[in-house]
Structure 1
C-alpha cells in the first residue's frame, strides 16, 4: 500500500523553479490521524507542512493554499525531540505515530542544521518584520523585544489566515471550518504535542444540524374534513402543496388525523390578562393560529410596544405556547393586517414605478431631436421601469393570500417533534365558516373590539350550528378599557381585546409532514502535552472556540447580510492565542509539566457551546481529574488597556495568580464573578471544575462582516498569552490542585426583565425531549428545589417543555415568589419537584 511519508529537504531548489526541492531523506509512518485523513508531514526547508499525498496539482480545498507561519525546525531541540520519542514509547503502541513525529523532526533538525549556518533564524513569515537575526551578544532587553515582535507576528499571521475569506467565516458545514481544524492539528503537531488522543487522531467528531429540507411531495399532505350540510355528513377538502399550504422547517415529521381547534392568535399573556387558550382543550389536537397579535399596528393596542413586534407575536413563541398546551399540530394563518400591509406596500411600489415611467416619458418628449444614445438610454430606462411595474403588480396580486416560505419561521425545530404547517387564509376560512358560521375577518374584528364572547361564537356538530359554552373561550371581559400602551406619545385608549377561541366541531386535519434534516460533521481539535511524575494523570484544559458564523444567519447582527463574517476577534484571536500559549508551554523546558495540559479548539460554540458541551458529556480525560479550565474568547480588541477575567473566584488560588501575572501585563483588570457565561468555560463549571475566562470586551464589529483581521491588537493579545501561560504554569506545576469554590452569582436586578430567576444551566450537548440541564447555581431556586445537573425538565407547571424556548416562554408566565411544580426525568426515574422562583437577574 502506498503510505504517506515524512520527506526532508535540505533547502535547495529545482532548476527553473523557486520552490524548495523535495528530497527524500527518511521515511517513517506519520501519526494515525494523518494516515486516516490522507495527509502527510513534509519538511520544506525551515518549515513543516501537511499535504495530501494523492494531490499532485493544486492544494486540496480543505487545506490552506498559503499556510501562515510554521515553527522553525531548529527551535525544537534535539533533547525535546528525544523527550517526545521517550514519552511516546512509554505510552505504548497507540503512540507510535507520535514517536514517528519525534524521529522525523529530529531527522529534520539534523538535516536542516547540517545544511544551514548555525544561527538563530526567525519564522518564514516573521523574517520581513524581524529585520535579521538577533546577534548572540545582544543584551537581554533587545532579545526580549525581538521575541515579542516574533510572537506578535505569529499571532497576527494566524488571525489573518483564520479570518481570511478563504475560510468562509468558519461556519458550520463549510470547507473553511474543516481547513481551520486541519490547520490547528498541523500546528499542534509541529509544536511536538501529542495529537492522537481521540482514537489515534486529534479530532473529536460530532454531528450538528446543518440544514432542513422539505421531503417528497407524496409525504407532505394536508386535508380538512368539514361538514357537508346534512346531519352527520362530512367532506374532505384536499389542499395543494405549495399553493394552499406548506410545512415549515421549524416543525417535525408526523402523520396525523386530529380534531381542529381555533386558538385565535395563540397567545398566553398573564401580565396583560389575555389568554387565547383559556376555556379550550387543545391536548392532542390541531390548532389553527393567526399570525401577529390583536390590534396589531394600532397605537394604544394591548400588545403595542412602540419598538417593534411584541414577543407574543413571534413564531417561536406561538409554536412553543401551543406545544406547552399539548397541541399535536400547529396550523398558522395570515391575519388580515398582514395581508393589508403587504398589499399596501406592493401597491405603493407599483404606483411609484408608474409615476417614474410617466416622468421618464415626459422628460424624453422635451428632447426635439434625440440622438441614438439618448434613444437607447430612454429605451433601457423605460424597459427597466416596465419590468418593475409588472413585478410589483404580480406581487400585489399574490399578496392577497401569500404562503410563508419553508424557512421563514426558522430552520430548526430545536428538538420538538410537533409538525407545523402554514396554510392560506382561504383554506382556513372554509373550515372556520363551516364550523363557526363566520369568517376570520369577522372574528378578528370581534377580538379587537373586546365584545362579549359567550353568545357570539358557535360550534358545529354533525353539520348543525349550535351554541356551545363548553367549546368557546369565554374569559371575563373587562368592564373598563385597558390602559393604553404609549406608541408615539399620542395614543388613544383602545378596548381590551377578548379571545374568540373555539373547538371546530367535527372538523379535522388529516395528512402528514416530512421534514428532513441534514447533519454536518464537526470536530473539536485536541492536542496534549503529557505530564511527568505522580500528577501526570491530572489534566489542565486550555481552550478557545474556532468556529464563527460563516455568511451570517440567525447569529448575525447585520440582519439579512450574506457577506462572509470573518470573525477575526470572535474567535480567531482566541484560537491564535491558544496556539501561542501551546508554543510557550511546549518549548518552555525539556521535561514535561507535572500535570497533563490539554489544548482544545472547540467547534459549534456559536450554536450554543455545543462543542464544549459535547466534550464534557464525552470526556477524553476524566473530568474528576480535570483540575482547571482556562478559556480565551475574543481577546483581540484591547480597549483602554482593559481585560475582563471571569471566574477568578471559582478557585481559591486563581485571583492571586492573575494579579501576579498582571504585574508584568499591567492590564486594568475587571473581575467578573462566577463560572457561568456565554463561552465554553460554562460547560466545565457545572462539573465542579474551576474555570477562568479571558475576554477583552464587545465592540461595534461583533457578529458583523466588519470583524476583520486588520483591527486586532496583537500587542494586547501577546500580553493575554503571557498571562494565560503564567496561570497555566501555576496550575500545572503546583503540588496541590486548585481548590474549587462556587463562584458568586450576580445580584438580582430590578426592572431588568420579566422572567423570574430559576437558576438552572442548559445543556446543549445532545438533543433530548425536554430541557436537559448541565447544572444549577449554588443556592439558587433550582438547587433549593432539588434539581441536579443531568436532569431533564419535561413540565413547568402545566406547560409541556420540549426545549429551551419552551422553558423560557413558560417561565415568563410566572412571577417572583411563585411556587412552580417541575416534572423532571433523572436517568430512568420520573420526579415531581417544586421550585420557588426569585426576582429576575
Structure 2
C-alpha cells in the first residue's frame, strides 16, 4: 500500500509541475466574474462587518453553498454570529454650559472618543496649547500655580505652528499627551478648540477604538466659544456619556463530508471597509463606498469555486473540507480569531488551513506569494519545485501575516496563504471588479486545487513553528511613513507600491516604485528591517531616507 501511495504521489507531482490551460477555465472565469461583480457592487455598500451589506454578502455566499449541496457547519445553519465592540456612541446625558449658556450637542460642541463618562463643574483656565516641551524651552503651564487643581482646562488642539508637520512642536501635538499633561497639572476636564486657520478642528473619532481617559474631553467650535467666553472669570458645567458600540458580525461555514478522519479548512474573509467608517481607508477624498473587489471578493469567489470543484470532481478525497468565509478581518482578524476560539468543528481534526486574501490582481512582475511553507516544511517542500503554467511564485516560510491564516497558525495548525500583492487601489474606493485579472485568478485556483490533491495523499501533516512565531522579532512603532509596501518584492530594500497623500512619505517626495534602502542610521533590506527602522523613531523626529529611483540613489528628508 505504501508503494502504491508513493507512486501515486510521484504521478501527481509530475502532473502538477507541467499543467497548462484547462478547457473548463472559461466557465470558472465566468463564475468568478459573477461572484466578484455581485460582492463588489455598490448595493452591498462595502460589506462592513455587522452591516446590511455584510448580510447581503453572506446570503449570497450561502446560496452558492446550497447550490453546490454542501452541509451547514455554523452555529445557526451556515452562520456563526460573533459580537464585538468597536468605537463609541453618544448616549444618555451629554450637556455643556459655559457661563450659563447652553451649547448644542454636535452643532456647537461634541465629546471626543477618549472622553470619560462624568459630570464636572469648575472654573475655566486657558492654558494655551497645553504643551510641555523642555527641549524647546516651552511650557504652557509655567505661569500657573498649583491652585488651579480642579479647574477645567481650555486649550488649542494644535501647536503654535498649527498642523505644520515640519514644526519643532509637531512632536507635541498629540492630544493624548496634552490630556495626560493636563491631568498631571490637576485638570478636572479638558475643552479643546481651534482658533488657527492653519490647523484642523479636532475630530470626535467615535468610530475608532481607543482607551478612555478618566476626565471629560470635549471640542468646542471656536466661533461659538468666543461668543460665550468673558475676558475673565469663566466657568462651565460638562456632562459626557459615551457607550462602546456593540456589533454582530457573521462567519460562514460549509462542509464537504468525505467520511475522513481529518479535515482541511479552506478560507477567505468576505468583509471590507464599507465607507471607510472605521478609519482603515487609505483614501483622502469625499466619503465613498469601498467595494473591495480584490480585497477580498476575489478570495471569497475562489473559496466558492474551489468548493464546487471538490464537490463535483467525482473523487472521494482522504480529507473532508470545511469552507469558512470570515468577517471582521479588516478590523483585526476578529472573525477568524473567534472561530478558532469557538470552533464549530473539532480543531484537533484539522489537517491544515489554506487561506486566500487578495488573489485578483496578479502582476507577472510580482507573481503570487505562497507563504506558510515553514509550518510543515517536509510536506510543503514540493511547492518549491512547481512549474505551473506561466505563473511566477514568491515563496515564504512565514506562518503569520496580516490575514486570517494567522489565527490558525497560532492554534498549531499548518497553514498556506495565497496573495498577489497590494496595489494603488488597495483600501480605496477604486478597488473595483473591472480591475480583476480573472484569467490569472482561474490559474491560481487550479494551482491551489492541484496542491490540495498532492497533499491529500500525504496523511496528517506535522505542524512546525516558523521563526517569526514568537512575535519577539516584530517591532512596535509609534510613527508611520505612509506607504504601501510591495510585499512581493524580493530584491534588497523595500519597494514602495503606493503613497498615501498628506503623510510623511508624500511630503518628503517618496514615490511609487522607489526602493527604500535606509531610514536614518537604519539599513532597510526587507519588510522586517523596515519595521525595525520605524521602531527607532518617535513622532516629530527627522530622518534622511535613501531611496533607489531607477539607477540613481537619492536622499529625501522625512519628518515623522
* Superposed pair shares fold, TM > 0.5: yes
- Superimposed CA distance per residue, residues 724-765 of structure 1 (whole angstroms, 9 cap, x where no aligned partner): 223344555422323222234799899x96669xxxxxxxxx
C-alpha separation in 2, matches of 1:695 and 1:588? 25
Is the Cα–Cα contact under 8 Å of residues 130 and 182 in structure 2 kept in the other structure?
Answer: no
Map 1:492-571 → 2, pairs under 5 A: 510-516=237-243, 519-533=246-260, 535-536=261-262, 539-553=263-277, 554-571=279-296
Quick check: 1:696 aligned with 2:420?
A: yes
Distance in 1 between residues matched to 2:536 and 2:20, nearest whole Å: 61
Where is the helix percentage greater, Structure 1 or Structure 2? Answer: 1
Deviation by residue 1:201-230 (Cα, 9 ceiling, x = unmatched): 1111123557865435xx112357xxxxxx
The equivalent of 1:683 in structure 2 is 407
Distance 1:324 1:733 in 2: 64
Cα pair 2:252 2:324 within 8 Å, conserved: yes
Shift, 1:632, TM fit: 0.7
Whole-angstrom distance in 2 between the partners of 1:316 and 1:631: 38
2:160 counterpart residue number: 294
Greater strand proportion: 2
Q: Where does the alignment leave 5 or more consecutive residues of structure 2 unmatched?
A: 1-17, 481-533, 542-560
CA contact (8 A) 2:477 2:535 kept: no
Equivalent in the alignment of 2:118: 255
Deviation, structure 1 residue 601:
0.7
Distance apart, 1:577 and its partner CA: 0.8
- SS of the residue aligned with 1:416? coil
For 1:658, the equivalent position in structure 2 comes to 383
Find the aligned partners of 2:139 and 2:427 in 1 and give their Cα distance: 37
Question: For the residues of structure 2 that align with 1:284 and 1:594, how far apart are their CA atoms?
Answer: 71
Q: Residues 327 and 654 (structure 1 numbering): CA distance in 2 closer, same or farther, change over 3 Å? A: farther
Cα gap change, 1:184 to 1:424, in 2 (>3 Å): closer
Q: Please say if 1:621 is aligned against 2:345.
A: yes
1:611-665 CA distance string (max 9 Å, x none) = 22222232223445444322111100110161112222222235414225x3224
- Which residue number corresponds to residue 177 of structure 1? 54
Q: Assess, with a 3 A threshold, how the Cα gap between structure 1 residues 428 and 692 changes in structure 2: closer, same or farther.
A: farther
Aligned-residue offset at 1:156: 1.7
- SS of equivalent residue, structure 1 residue 664: coil
* Aligned-partner Cα distance in 1 for 2:186–2:406: 34
Measure the CA separation in 1 of the matches of 2:325 and 2:438: 20
Other-structure match for 1:240: 103
* Cα pair 2:477 2:537 within 8 Å, conserved: no
Measure how far apart 1:271 and its partner are. Answer: 8.8
The answer as to 2:25 corresponding to 1:151 is: no
Once residues 334 and 205 of structure 1 are traced to their aligned partners in structure 2, the CA distance between those partners, rounded to angstroms, is: 41
Aligned to 1:423: 220
- For the residues of structure 2 that align with 1:695 and 1:423, how far apart are their CA atoms? 46
Deviation at 1:526, TM superposition (A): 0.9
Match of 1:334 among 193, 207, 211: 193
Q: Say if 1:253 and 1:512, in contact at 8 Å, map to a contact too.
A: no
Does residue 1:586 correspond to 2:311, yes or no? Answer: yes
2:112 touches 2:219 (CA, 8 Å); kept in 1? Answer: no
Question: For the Cα contact (< 8 Å) 1:629–1:689, is it kept in 2?
Answer: yes
Look up the match of 2:443. 719
Q: What are the residue-to-residue correspondences of 1:20-419 with 2, within 5 Å?
A: 145-195=22-72, 197-208=73-84, 213-215=89-91, 219-223=93-97, 237=100, 239-242=102-105, 246-251=109-114, 254-257=117-120, 265-266=129-130, 288-296=154-162, 301-303=167-169, 310=170, 312-315=172-175, 331-336=190-195, 338=196, 340-341=197-198, 408-414=204-210, 416=212, 418=214, 419=216
Equivalent residue for 2:360, pick from 631, 636, 639:
636
Shift of 1:188: 1.5
Shift of 1:542: 1.6
Give how far 1:524 is off.
Answer: 0.8
**DSSP-derived class of the 1:579 partner:** helix
Question: What per-residue deviation string (whole Å, max 9, x for no partner) do you get for residues 224-276 of structure 1?
Answer: 7xxxxxxxxxxx75652349963325145622337788775455779979787
Q: Which structure's CA Rg is the greater one?
A: 1
- For 1:415 and 1:688, locate their aligned partners in 2 and report how far apart those are by CA, in whole Å: 31
Q: 1:550 to 1:200 in 2, by over 3 A?
A: closer
Asked if structure 1 preserves the Cα contact closer than 8 Å seen for 2:45 and 2:274, the reply is: yes
Shift of 1:573: 0.6
Q: For 2:325 and 2:168, how far apart are their aligned partners in 1?
A: 48
Indicate if the aligned counterparts of 1:573 and 1:633 stay in contact, CA closer than 8 A: yes
Give yes or no for contact 1:287–1:322 (8 Å, CA) kept in 2.
Answer: no
* C-alpha RMSD of the superposition: 4.6
- Name 1:573's counterpart in structure 2: 298
Is the 2:21–2:389 Cα contact (8 Å) retained in structure 1?
no
Note closer, same or farther for the CA distance 1:705–1:274 as it changes in structure 2 (3 Å cut): same
TM-score of the aligned structures, taking structure 2 as reference length: 0.68
Distance verdict in 2 for CA 1:300–1:702, change over 3 Å: closer
**Deviation, structure 1 residue 530:** 2.7
Contact 2:351/2:413 (8 A) holds in 1: yes
SS at match of 1:710: helix
Once the two structures are superposed, what CA deviation does each residue of 1:285-307 show, in whole Å capped at 9, x if it has no partner?
Answer: 9654421123336797413xxxx
Contact conserved, 1:248 with 1:409, CA < 8 A, in 2?
A: no
SS at match of 1:183: helix
Q: How many residues align structurally?
A: 462
Structure 2 SS opposite 1:184: helix
